Amino acid sequence: MPLSETDCAATYKVLIVGDAFVGKTALLRCLMGYEFAPQSRPTVGGTADITVHQQCEDLTLEEIVPASGGPWGGKSVDDRFIGFLENISGPKSMAEYKKQNMYDFLDILRKFEITKRSIIPEKTGHVWVRIPLSFFEFCKTNRKVKNASAAIEVSSHKGIVQYESGKLKWTVENFKQIFFEETVDSIVKHIEKLLKDAKIRDTKAILMVGGFSECKLVQQAIIKKCTGKKVIIPIDAGLAVVKGAVYFGHDPKAISRRVAMYTYGIQTWPEFKPTLHPLSKKYEIDGKSRCKDVFFPIVRKGEKIPVGLSKPQIFRPLFEKGSMLHCSVYISDDEDPKYIDESGCDLLGTLEVPLLNHDPANVEVEETLYFGETELRVTARDLSTNKAIDFTFDIL
């Protein structure tokens, strides 16, 4: 069963008693009430996903606010560094350099990663990143200059970075500002925005997990801004997601209630009503006026979904002589979508139910959507034969 990293991060909360933490925290108290889980995906994804859970009396977790965030993980810092180098080497040049010097390009990222992890709030002075000779040779050719320093001089980084013996040199303050400041500020501002919501204003603790949560600059910024909250930072925060995934595998009901991120529904063709439907949606079928493309909501965005929730609806075939019933399932960003062709509405998939050996006009098909887990399961059952067709959608 697919599992989101935010689910893993939330599930890790159940395991934190007895684990080692940075700073003095009352662990038992941290397990009660609301909590945030700022969670940065590994470098491949590079996002910060923030969600809010409340611990229930049975020790399961209830999702209060679904995962939200943006491209504010460790990869955003890496991307800013690559953009910085591209400003030195020339517009749109790094893709070409990477193509010609893949090994050296990866070496640059490794060196930057080491330097990036050494940056702590109290650090002062200067910071260096060793850059392969091939990069500076590439700059000379691409920029048509004599040396690396000249390439820097013609870029917008003049006076910000220096070239010294195969290394790029910044002041620590410049390094923080150029590569970290925007990302860290975005995370903090998003948390502050969420905390203004009356539902979660009384949040008790902030649990930081994922690789970028180990960044001291991120830790300090959140602790400084979120006064009155207990900020919990496990040692090896990057492994917390893995630990949560293992635990969730043993107890899939650790998260007992989720919040619908979308509105889920089915395409229907009700009777056309001039006072309700636009004329452009009118469609004649077997002598009857129908309204096409209607979004029939089953679960609305923001609705609380307990594990195992099922929503059945009974439908009849659209065509009197049809041999197949099509059950199309849609999602929408809108809480109250009207039609399936609206912006933000997408088709998840379609089930095809064969209508054989009986009169289609008298057939009833029960479509049931099963919610509350990391997958959406849909069952279409022909009530005249009791035959059912199942389909599963990954909704992460």
Answer with the one of 228, 259, 290 that is the final residue of a domain. 259
Q: What is the pLDDT of residue 179?
A: 96
Same domain? For 341 and 245 the reply is no
* Phi, psi (degrees; rounded to nearest 5) at 380: -115, 120
pLDDT of residue 327: 83
CATH number at residue 85: 3.30.420.40
202 shares a domain with 274: no
Same domain assignment for residues 272 and 375:
yes
* Structural domains of the chain, count: 2
Q: Taking CA 77 as the corner, what is the angle to CA 76 and CA 82, rounded to the nearest 5 degrees? A: 95
Residue 272 DSSP code: P
173 and 294 belong to one structural domain: no
CA angle 199, 203, 206 (to 5 degrees): 135
Residues 253 and 282 both lie in one domain: no
Residue type, 155: S
In order, the DSSP letters of 110-170 are: HHHHHHHHH--TT--SEEEEE--HHHHHHHHHHHT-SSHHHHHHTSTTTTT-EEETTEEEE
128 and 268 part of one domain: no
Question: Last residue of a domain, which of 244, 259, 274?
Answer: 259
358: number of Cβ within 10 Å:
11
Domain-terminating residue out of 210, 244, 259 = 259
For residues 8 and 95, state if they share a domain.
Answer: yes
- What is the pLDDT, as a whole number, of residue 39? 52
pLDDT given at position 162: 95
Query: Does one domain contain both 339 and 306?
Result: yes
Expressed as residue numbers, the domain containing 291 is 260-394
Residues 328 and 255 in one domain: no
pLDDT at 184 (0 to 100): 93
**Is 299 in contact with 264 (CB distance < 8 Å)?**
yes
pLDDT at residue 97 in the model: 94
Give me the tens of pLDDT residue by residue for the chain, a chain 396 residues long: 345 666 666 666 655 544 444 443 322 222 323 445 555 443 344 678 888 888 777 777 888 888 888 888 889 999 999 999 999 998 888 999 999 999 999 999 999 999 999 999 999 999 999 999 999 999 999 999 999 999 999 999 999 999 999 999 999 999 999 999 999 999 999 989 988 887 887 888 888 888 888 889 999 999 999 888 888 888 877 787 778 778 777 777 778 888 888 999 999 999 999 999 999 999 998 888 999 999 999 999 999 988 888 898 888 777 766 677 788 899 999 999 999 999 999 998 888 877 766 665 677 888 888 886 667 888 888 887 788 888 787 655
Ranges of H-type helices in the chain: 5-12, 27-30, 74-89, 94-100, 102-118, 133-143, 148-153, 172-179, 181-195, 216-225, 240-250
- What are the φ and ψ backbone dihedral angles of 212, each rounded to 5 degrees? -75, -15
Token digits for 287? 């002598």
Tell me which residue of 217, 233, 162 sits closest to 185, measured CA to CA. Answer: 217
> At 278, which CATH number?
2.60.34.10
Please check whether residues 88 and 202 belong to one and the same domain: yes
92 shares its domain with 240: yes
pLDDT at 28: 27
- 79 in the same domain as 121: yes
